[in-house]
Chain A
Amino acid sequence: MKIKINGEEREIAPGLSIGTLLEQLQIRPGRVVVERNRDIVARNAYGGTMLVEGDILEIVHFVGGG
């Protein structure tokens, strides 16, 4: 199924949780914040949040800035 991650369309396996997706993308969950369809997903809900077709995810972190 198709979802959008950080503006890019991606094909992922159905039934994937946010936690598993982060694992597959090799992203450390402790260093990022995830927004799903404009709602922030709490870190302790990553494992239990199942992705569905058409989801729009934003995965952000801190970078250098002034």
Chain B
Amino acid sequence: MEDFLKIADISYRSRLIVGTGKYKDFAETKRAIEVSGAEIVTVAVRRVNITDPNKENLLDYLNPKKYTILPNTAGCFNAEDAIRTCRLAREAGVGKTVKLEVIGDDKTLFPDIPATLEAAKILVKEGFIVLPYINDDPITAKKLEDIGCAAVMPLAAPIGSGLGIRNPYNIRIILEHANVPVIVDAGVGTASDAAIAMEMGCHGVLMNTAIASAKDPILMAEAMRLGVEAGRKAYLAGRIPKKLYATASSPLDGILN
């Protein structure tokens, strides 16, 4: 059965979106991404080290023809900086899809929602395909959808925390009302967290630390691919309702007496 994640006009086979931070080196980054099966990868925009510029570049390892490069605005604490970062990223020539994150606080890395809304409005107007990182708040999700964002990306838990989905009920409400893909972004710790998000009906999962900081990132990349696939299939298959008492799996007819 064909099953695609559709963002704006592009259809993706993989529902796992991965980051490129925190890996040992670019070779490991590349390998983990290959094994994860991801077709969308996030990157950050930073200053070139001008005293030692001849280093290898991430894009030498990630072919933009093979992957959708999704620049983020990590580290931006206001709308202006986030917009500036997106414009710079677009100029790099890898497309106009951006992961908008306006951080509100250093310790929690929770988003600044008023600033996120403000930036999203301008970026959508400028023709960007905006994928915003948000709290697990259904009202924010709706507002960003109304602004014209191509997806909404509620956090499962704080970035890099590995706590898994802290508020499945809110995620469920977001899912019920959304007309754009809902991608759980941040806070996933292990494959079952990803599977749970997908079983709930989320359209995708975005993660970085859970893979890159695992003891064996390549193996975890595979585990995440399988977790996302398993969760998606279970969602499509339709799980049985939970019941308090047993229902026998074996027929009761023909029991010896």
Contacts and interface: CB of A to CB of B under 8 A. Distances in A.
Given A62-B92, A66-B72, A26 B54 contact: yes
B88 A66 contact: no
Given A60-B45, A64-B58, A66-B208, A27 B50 contact: yes
Nearest to A62: B43
Given A59-B50, A60-B47, A62-B44, A42 B91 contact: yes
Nearest to B85: A60
Interface string B76-91: 0000000010011101
Contacts of A50: none
Contact of A64 (B21, B50, B53): B21
Interface string A26-58: 111001110100101011000000000000001
A14 to B, nearest CB: 19
A5 B51 CA distance: 11
Give 7 nearest A-B pairs by CB, closest first: A65-B44, A66-B208, A66-B19, A64-B20, A62-B43, A64-B21, A6-B47
A8 interface: yes
B249 interface: no
A62 to B, nearest CB: 4
The residue among A6, A43, A60 with the most chain B CB atoms within 10 A of its own CB is A60
A32 B44 contact: no
Q: Place the interface of chain B in its size category.
A: 35 or more
B159 interface: yes
A19 to B, nearest CB: 15
Contacts of A62: 43-46, 57-59, 69, 71, 89, 92, 94
Given A25-B50, A28-B57, A66-B208, A40 B87 contact: yes
A65 to B, nearest CB: 3
B244 to A, nearest CB: 41
Query: Interface centre among A27, A38, A61, A62, by most B CB within 10 Å?
Result: A62
Nearest to B51: A8
B72 A58 contact: no
7 contacts: A5-B50, A28-B57, A33-B92, A60-B48, A62-B71, A65-B208, A66-B207
Interface centre among A25, A33, A42 (most CB of B within 10 A): A33
Q: Which of A26, A65, A66 has the most CB of B within 10 A?
A: A66
B206 to A, nearest CB: 8
B50 A65 contact: no
Contacts of A33: 45, 88-89, 91-92
